[in-house]
Amino acid sequence: MSTDALKFSCYRALRPTPAALLMAAMFVPLIGCGSNEEALDAGRVISVSSGRKMKFESEQVAMNPEQMTCGIQNELFGEVDQSAARKVAPLLERGRALGFTDDVSVGEYGRDRPNTQVRGTFPLVVKQVVNIKDHPNGAKRVEVWAGVRIDHPCFSGPLQIMGVRRGALSETAPAAFEFAKAEEGWRLVQILHQ
- What's 159-191 look like in SS3? EEECEEECCEEECCCCEEEEEEEECCEEEEEEE
Identify the pLDDT of residue 112.
85
Bridge partners (DSSP) listed for residue 180: 187
Domain-wise residue ranges, the chain: 42-192
159-182 pLDDT per residue, tens: 999 999 888 888 999 999 999 999
Mean pLDDT rounded to a whole number for the chain: 84
Q: What is the pLDDT along the chain (194 residues), one digit of tens a residue?
A: 555 554 445 445 445 555 544 454 454 444 444 444 578 999 999 999 999 999 999 999 999 999 999 999 999 999 998 877 788 999 999 999 999 999 999 977 768 899 999 999 999 999 999 999 999 999 999 999 999 999 999 999 999 999 998 888 889 999 999 999 999 899 999 999 87
Q: What does pTM read for this prediction?
A: 0.77
What percentage of residues in the chain have a pLDDT greater than 70? 80
pLDDT tens per residue, range 3-27: 555 444 544 544 555 554 445 445 4
Task: Judge whether 98 and 154 are in contact, CB under 8 Å.
Answer: no
* Cα–Cα dist 171/179, whole Å: 22
